[in-house]
């Protein structure tokens, strides 16, 4: 099986100066995931590596530079899911954490619980030897500016779906959540079936956009059910985004990957940086489904 990875950097309206760094960032993320896959690594390792690359890049709303609560706190959500075992790990509302996707992975591997939140998640991170950061290391000028502008429509997330050479699928997503959110607010990112879903026999999906609407629509589970009904990844992505719009009046984006390596993406926001890497075609990318700004 030829490995494939699809990633996105959030569905929202980019500022002009964010076009190039956002497309570069998703390409780097897809390359980080493909580096794992091309050495025979697992889909789960690949999506974790791809999301970590975006968490470390302050252009994205995840990890370093994640959006802030209305009282200036950094509280992040993340999840990861294995398409073979259908086990997942998720963390919610974790203060000052650079790589919540790896904390979610540790929750999945540990297996006692599936979703950990707040200070308890931080205590678990210490037990597992995962580093906690000081708030000042993670809060960027960009995040403070966003809070000042109160761009509350910005509820973007980063995400990755991968297929490895053994035919296993995985998905991981990570976010700072909505800018100017109430402290304690948890979005769709750590909620199975809403922000993420994967089943090796059906496909994988990762969502971005208004978390409250994505939870109401149970977006990713329903998107994968469209695949089960026989839709292509592209049609399932378009149908699920339109369904959310009809049912909630909100905007979002989604990436999808089938068990045969077919990819699909759709968004009804002005932009959603994305990249796809596969052994056959190298890396393709754009800042929306229509437009690329890189040569």
Question: Mind telling me the catalytic residues?
Answer: 157
Cβ-count burial 252-291 (b if 16+ within 10 Å, e if not): bbbbbbbbebebbbbbbbebbbbbbbbeeeebebbbbbee
**In Å, how far are 34, 179, 254 from 155, measured between CA atoms?**
27, 7, 13
Would you say 209 is a known binding-site residue?
A: yes
Would you say 170 is a known binding-site residue?
A: no
Please, how many CA atoms are within 13 Å of residue 189, restricted to the half-sphere of its CB?
Answer: 36
Tell the smallest beta-carbon distance from residue 209 to ligand GLY (Å): 6
Would you say 184 is a known binding-site residue?
A: no
| Interface mask toward ligand GLY for 119-158; x: CB under 6 A | ------------------------------------x-x-
Q: Return the residue of 178, 222, 238, 250 that touches ligand GLY, per CB under 6 A.
A: 178
Q: Which is nearer to ligand GLY, 169 or 186 (CB)?
A: 186
Would you say 222 is a known binding-site residue?
A: no
23 binds ligand GLY (CB under 6 A): no
Within positions 260 to 289, which residues make up the interface with ligand GLY, using CB under 6 A?
none
Q: CB 119: neighbour CB atoms within 10 A?
A: 11
187 binds ligand GLY (CB under 6 A): yes
For 222, the token pair is 């329903």
Would you say 156 is a known binding-site residue?
A: no
Tell the smallest beta-carbon distance from residue 73 to ligand GLY (Å): 15
88 - beta bridge partners? 81
Q: Return the residue of 189, 200, 263, 278 that touches ligand GLY, per CB under 6 A.
A: 189
Tell the smallest beta-carbon distance from residue 184 to ligand GLY (Å): 13
The radius of gyration of the chain from alpha carbons, rounded to an integer in Å, stands at: 17
Would you say 224 is a known binding-site residue?
A: no
159 - beta bridge partners? 8, 173
Size of the site for ligand GLY (CB under 6 A): 12
188 binds ligand GLY (CB under 6 A): yes
Would you say 187 is a known binding-site residue?
A: yes
Q: Which is nearer to ligand GLY, 209 or 273 (CB)?
A: 209
User: Between β-strands 282-286 and 196-199, what pairing exists: parallel, antiparallel or unpaired?
Assistant: unpaired
The interface region with ligand GLY, picked from 50-58, 142-150, 185-193, 264-272 by CB under 6 A, is 185-193
Round to whole Å and give the CA distance between 57 and 29. 10
209 binds ligand GLY (CB under 6 A): yes
Q: Return the residue of 177, 193, 253, 273 that touches ligand GLY, per CB under 6 A.
A: 177
Q: Are 105 and 44 in contact (CB under 8 A)?
A: yes
208 binds ligand GLY (CB under 6 A): yes
Q: Are 54 and 25 in contact (CB under 8 A)?
A: yes
75 binds ligand GLY (CB under 6 A): no
Binding residues: 185-188, 208-211
Residues belonging to the binding site for substrate are 185-188, 208-211
Contact residues for ligand GLY, defined by CB under 6 A:
155, 157, 175, 177-178, 187-189, 208-211
């Amino acid at each position: 099986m030829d490995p494939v990875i699809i990633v996105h950097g959030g569905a929202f309206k980019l500022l002009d100066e964010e076009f190039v760094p956002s497309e570069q960032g998703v390409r780097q993320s897809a390359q980080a995931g493909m580096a794992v896959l091309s050495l025979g690594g697992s889909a789960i390792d690949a999506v974790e590596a791809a999301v970590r690359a975006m968490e470390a890049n302050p252009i994205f709303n995840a990890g370093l530079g994640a959006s802030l609560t209305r009282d200036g706190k950094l509280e992040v959500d993340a999840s990861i899911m294995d398409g073979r075992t259908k086990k997942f790990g998720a963390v919610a509302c974790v203060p000052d954490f650079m790589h919540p996707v790896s904390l979610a992975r540790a929750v999945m591997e540990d297996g006692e619980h599936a979703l950990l939140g707040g200070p308890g998640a931080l205590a678990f991170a210490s037990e597992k030897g995962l580093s906690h950061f000081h708030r000042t290391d993670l809060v960027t000028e960009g995040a403070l500016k966003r809070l000042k502008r109160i761009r509350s429509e910005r509820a973007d997330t980063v995400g990755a779906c991968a297929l490895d050479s053994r035919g296993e699928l995985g998905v991981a997503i990570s976010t700072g959540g909505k800018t100017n959110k109430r402290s304690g607010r948890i979005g769709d990112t750590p909620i199975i079936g809403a922000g993420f879903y994967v089943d090796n026999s059906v496909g994988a999906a990762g969502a971005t956009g208004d978390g409250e609407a994505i939870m109401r629509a149970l977006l990713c589970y329903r998107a994968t059910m469209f695949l089960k009904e026989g839709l292509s990844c592209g049609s399932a992505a378009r149908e699920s985004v339109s369904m959310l719009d009809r049912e909630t009046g909100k905007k979002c984006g989604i990436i999808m990957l089938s068990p045969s390596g077919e990819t699909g993406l759709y968004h009804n926001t002005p932009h959603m940086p994305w990249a796809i890497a596969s052994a056959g075609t190298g890396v393709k990318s754009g800042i929306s489904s229509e437009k690329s700004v890189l040569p």
